[in-house]
């Protein structure tokens, strides 16, 4: 195998990647289970303007038998916050004043990274097989679970090369959309972007039939991350369908997730602006919800 060490610039984010030129990759990935797989996510946010595409650099952290999928810029901001939070806890144990943490410095460090357009985080656990999604509405954080074996993949004819890997094609229906996945057995992880996985190899490219969502692998790094620092331990357990109903209510009425005191501080014009922005985010990946 020949690996070329290079770099990828995505917006304001620069990451080091391994570009695979000549592949015999099973050995490499079998020897180490800790990887960061970077995906370019291109999607249509607004059903009234499907030609308008947005992009986000996502990362699939693969640690042992588990994985975490999230926005990479979100990871960077969360990592800065975690450092200062840990410092604050240490200062508290030592009896130091809360003011010993430089909040201005923390905000300056976080401002170096672009705001995450995608807020959700998807944890796939190798222990119980469940998929847990961490989502946020205003100040409230929620988490819900779904089984990982609800994807009925169908293999279909097709073969192509992605980043030097020989890929096969499969398709699946999920939540009102038909998806096509190019996966490679040469990377022996039955994983992929978002909730998708369960194929005999890593998914390198995934898109729906309407081309509203497209995930494409753009780079790989050999590195580790502490999942516990990326996931809230205060997230409210909720049913998946209940959460999306709350999300719909929030889109129609942003005050629905605010306390009375918070709502009283927000002007009608500010609410209208938020509502207008939320209404344009109307093309979520889960098109149809059933229960």
45-94 pLDDT, tens digit each: 999 999 999 999 999 999 988 999 999 988 887 776 666 666 766 666 66
Return phi, psi of residue 152, to 5°: -95, 80
Q: What is the mean pLDDT of residues 4-29?
A: 48
Q: What is the mean pLDDT of residues 235-253?
A: 91
Give a yes or no: residue 255 inside a domain.
no
Predicted local confidence at residue 22, as pLDDT: 37
Give a yes or no: residue 265 inside a domain.
no
Give a yes or no: residue 273 inside a domain.
no
Give a yes or no: residue 105 inside a domain.
yes
Q: What is the CA radius of gyration of the chain?
A: 20
Give a yes or no: residue 246 inside a domain.
no
CA separation, residue 199 to residues 82, 109, 169, 195, 196 (Å): 34, 39, 10, 12, 9
pLDDT in tens, 254-281: 776 665 556 666 677 766 777 777 788 8
Where is average pLDDT lowest: 161-165, 185-189, 190-194, 271-275? 271-275
Q: Give dist(CA 202, CA 197) in Å, integer.
A: 8
Counting every residue written for the chain, the total comes to 291
Give a yes or no: residue 66 inside a domain.
yes
Return phi, psi of residue 255, to 5°: -75, -15
Predicted local confidence at residue 7, as pLDDT: 47
Predicted local confidence at residue 261, as pLDDT: 55
Predicted local confidence at residue 19, as pLDDT: 47
Closest CA to 209 of 181, 180, 182, 176: 180
Predicted local confidence at residue 3, as pLDDT: 36
Q: Please check the confidence at residue 234 and state whether its pLDDT lies above 80.
A: yes
Name the residue range of residue 122's domain: 2-239
- Describe the crossing of helices 240-252 and 268-279 by its angle, rounded to 10 degrees: 130
Q: How many CA atoms lie within 13 A of 202 on its CB side?
A: 29
- Describe the crossing of helices 72-93 and 103-110 by its angle, rounded to 10 degrees: 160
Report field, pTM of the whole predicted structure over 0.75: yes
Q: What is the mean pLDDT of the chain?
A: 82
| Neighbour count for residue 289 (Cβ, 10 Å) | 14
Predicted local confidence at residue 259, as pLDDT: 58
Give a yes or no: residue 281 inside a domain.
no
Q: Please check the confidence at residue 99 and state whether its pLDDT lies above 60.
A: no
Give a yes or no: residue 24 inside a domain.
yes
Number of domains in the chain: 1
Q: Please check the confidence at residue 193 and state whether its pLDDT lies above 80.
A: yes
């Amino acid at each position: 195998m020949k690996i070329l060490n290079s770099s990828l610039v995505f917006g304001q984010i620069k990451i080091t990647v391994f570009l695979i030129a000549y592949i015999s990759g099973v050995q490499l990935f079998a020897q180490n289970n800790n990887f960061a797989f970077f995906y370019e996510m291109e999607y249509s946010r607004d059903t009234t303007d499907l030609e308008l595409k947005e992009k986000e650099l996502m990362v699939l952290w693969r640690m042992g038998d588990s994985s975490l999928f999230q926005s990479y810029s979100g990871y960077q901001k969360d990592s800065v916050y975690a450092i200062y939070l840990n410092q604050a806890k240490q200062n508290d144990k030592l009896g130091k004043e809360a003011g010993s943490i430089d909040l201005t410095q923390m905000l300056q460090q976080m401002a170096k990274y672009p705001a995450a357009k995608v807020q959700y985080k998807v944890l796939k656990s190798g222990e119980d097989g469940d998929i847990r999604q961490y989502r946020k509405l205003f100040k409230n954080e929620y988490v819900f679970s779904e089984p990982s074996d609800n994807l009925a993949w169908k293999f279909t004819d097709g073969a192509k090369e992605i980043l030097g890997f020989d890929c096969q094609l499969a398709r699946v229906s999920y939540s009102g959309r038909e998806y096509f996945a190019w996966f490679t057995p040469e990377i022996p992880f039955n994983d992929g972007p978002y909730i998708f996985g369960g194929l005999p190899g890593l998914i390198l490219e995934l898109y729906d039939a309407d081309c509203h969502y497209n995930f494409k692998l753009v780079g790989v790094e050999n590195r580790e991350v502490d999942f516990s620092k990326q996931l809230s331990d205060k997230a409210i357990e909720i049913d998946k369908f209940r959460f999306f109903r709350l999300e719909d209510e929030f889109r129609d009425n942003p005050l629905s997730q605010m306390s009375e005191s918070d709502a009283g501080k927000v002007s009608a014009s500010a609410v209208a602006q938020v509502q207008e922005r939320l209404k344009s985010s109307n093309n979520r990946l889960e098109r149809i919800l059933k229960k």
